[in-house]
Amino acid sequence: MLGVKGDCRGCASFDFVVLCKQDVEEPLKVVRHVLERLGLSLNETKTHRVDAKQASFNFLGFTIQMSQGARTGKPYPNVRPADKSLKKIKARLTELTARNLTAIPLEDVVGRMNRSLRGWANYFHYRNSSQIMGKARQHAEDRLRTHLLKRYKVKNRKAALIRFPRRDLYEQYGLYKVPTVAGWNSAHPSVSRASESRVR
């Protein structure tokens, strides 16, 4: 599978990917023709050709690459949240659980964490996302536990693990549990909306 990641001139932002089995020249001609009819032009400097069997590429926060099934040996499109997307949610959770926030109500801290986690998970909960989702969930647990450690002046992390076990983080403190099994396998409305918003 060959991927052509394009960017066009003449509008605010219009990113797209064209997937081809082999040759990319003919599809590119079609793309250029369609864009010209719309009064747009392909930004050649930002357009990349990628052999997805050999390398990955990022699009709308996802990393896409052809992989081989461990059991069947058949190729399949491996679509997962990009490393940058994981770093962003982890940084956001760290910001929302900072030491200087121990003075505000705990419900507000957890509520803000949950809003960020839900929004992120709803968008990236797709196909081969289990491993990345698991990392996001673990970071959320670690950050809330660290916040509780500081808030209640628990002496160390070992003591915090005993006082604030995983089950209590969810049942007592109300932390949103990030799902780790992909909930949808086809194009999600949120992706379509994201694409549309970038075209306008």
Q: Is 200's pLDDT higher than 50?
A: no
The pLDDT confidence band at residue 186, using thresholds 50, 70 and 90, is low
How many CB atoms are located within 10 Å of the residue 136 CB?
22
Q: What is the pLDDT of residues 59-86, one digit of tens each?
A: 889 999 988 888 888 988 899 999 999 9
Q: What is the pLDDT of residues 119-177, one digit of tens each?
A: 999 999 988 999 999 999 999 999 999 999 999 999 999 999 999 999 999 999 999 99
Mean per-residue pLDDT over the chain, rounded: 85
| Average of per-residue pLDDT across 37-53 | 82
Record the pTM: 0.80
The pLDDT confidence band at residue 185, using thresholds 50, 70 and 90, is low
